[in-house]
Chain A
Amino acid sequence: MDSSSTYTEQELVNGLRNRNQKIFSYLYDQYSSTLYGVVVKVLNDHASAGDVLQDVFLKIWKNIDQYDEERGRLFTWMLNICRNTAIDVLRSKAHKLDQKIQNITDDVHIGNEPLIVHMQVDHLGFSKMLERLSKDQRNLIDLAYYKGCTQEEIARVLDIPLGTVKTRMRTALNHLKQIVKNIDK
């Protein structure tokens, strides 16, 4: 595969539907690091993350007929499969709620790991801006998005009322939205 060739979204979808292995290989090259990043962040475990990433791409390959363009972009669909698969594994490993919290605390160090974390050049500025989110806000988003906690669980874990979780979550997501908007400019 010529790495310089690019495909439109429709070509990617058609290629996968036609069982085109070159398209699959291209898709992997384009998206594996983002999806692997999600898996690593959910599981906080490099050892099992590889197997999970493999399952994620096999699901994409096998279930492409379930993808519905009407419901969103291909990458959105892939990202959903990835997050759900990783969170299922996290739950099946019977990680307790407190384990989830432990992971969040450990995650503080992940950002500082040399070499492994591969920041794309375009995102260097963005990640710096992410630091503008307060630690509480980041924890909230991490618990919800990466650990699959429901808002009720978060309320229990952080020992705050459900209403407060909802308000804080909204503020955090709004804040994130502003950050992303600014970086787009």
Chain B
Amino acid sequence: MDINHYISSGVLESYVYGLLPEDEVAEVEAIAQQYPEVREIVEDLQLQKEEFVKCYAVTPPPEIKARLMLIIRNESTPEGELALPQELRLNNPVPQPLLTTPAVKMKAVTGKKQERIWKIIAAAVIGILIISAGINFFLATDSKDYKARYERLIASQKKIDENKNLESNQTASVQESDEDKKLLKDPNVIWIKASGYGPHPDGAVTIGWNKASKEVYLVNWRLPIPPEDKQYHLRTITDGKPADAGILVITPSSNGKIQHLKTTTIPQSFVVTLEPIGSKGANGKTEIYQVAEMNL
């Protein structure tokens, strides 16, 4: 190879300024390893480029450093974890929006249950409206008090609107995300990182317990997707007695999001198990994946 010709071809300048496609980058790096004179020129050019970019130095706002130091100090907590860019989080390869961490509702059954609750509320509201209209009709015909009737109608309309707003808030991920973000900072919630167990040595989930509401939360980082006929359970163990804390939703999109599980009084340990669907924790079919001790 005519190395002088290579050097004068301009390819090294293009390399340093990031203008080359990936395959050519690898080629330049291989040649630089092989030829010290090429390496020296590349290093020179890099220094020059650095001088060039320093010309455009801008002092960043001071709060960025404060934020960064806080994140790295808390990097082993779920809050620190969630503050990281997606690609830096623990084995979480699925791209998700950074700023939204909507809670994952437990199982479709719960979703349906909630849907039913809203149907009942909607029916109740319609009922109230009909009753209110009936009363209004009665009052109107009885006392001809149009003003009172009008005001009552406005009030019931307001109530319907309020309920509607409430419903849309429940389904808006941003609202839920804010609530979940509060959980991360809530002094009542104890967050612990689970450890791996047996043939699954890596810690893959973070578990939280709310001292005030007794609710249990779980954030999955890297549990493998379960086979179709199996599901993950979270079980609590208190005084040697296991109790079911709920079934986990483990899908690519649930990673890094807070799952709300059942409530439990002062749990001592948590165990994440993989079990055949409907097995109710039968021995021999349950595989333990994660364990966590709650030191209260």
Contact = CB atoms under 8 A, between A and B. Distances in A.
Interface of A: 21, 24-25, 28-29, 32-34, 36-38, 40-41, 49-50, 53-55, 57-59, 61-63, 70-73, 75-76, 79-80, 83, 116-120, 123, 126-127, 130, 141, 144-145, 148, 150-151, 166, 169-170, 173-174, 176-177, 180-181, 183
B108 to A, nearest CB: 33
A63 B84 CA distance: 12
Given A76-B50, A123-B54, 4 more contacts: A33-B57, A54-B71, A73-B43, A126-B55
Interface in B84-131: 84-85, 88
B65 interface: yes
A54 B13 contact: no
Interface string B2-26: 0000000010011001110100000
A166 B20 CA distance: 11
Interface in B227-251: none
B96 to A, nearest CB: 14
A151 B43 CA distance: 23
A177 B13 contact: yes
A61 to B, nearest CB: 6
Contacts of B14: 169, 173
A79 B52 CA distance: 12
A170 B13 contact: yes
Given A53-B60, A62-B88, A170-B13, A21 B54 contact: no
A170 B11 CA distance: 9
Contacts of A34: 50, 53-54, 57
A123 B46 contact: no
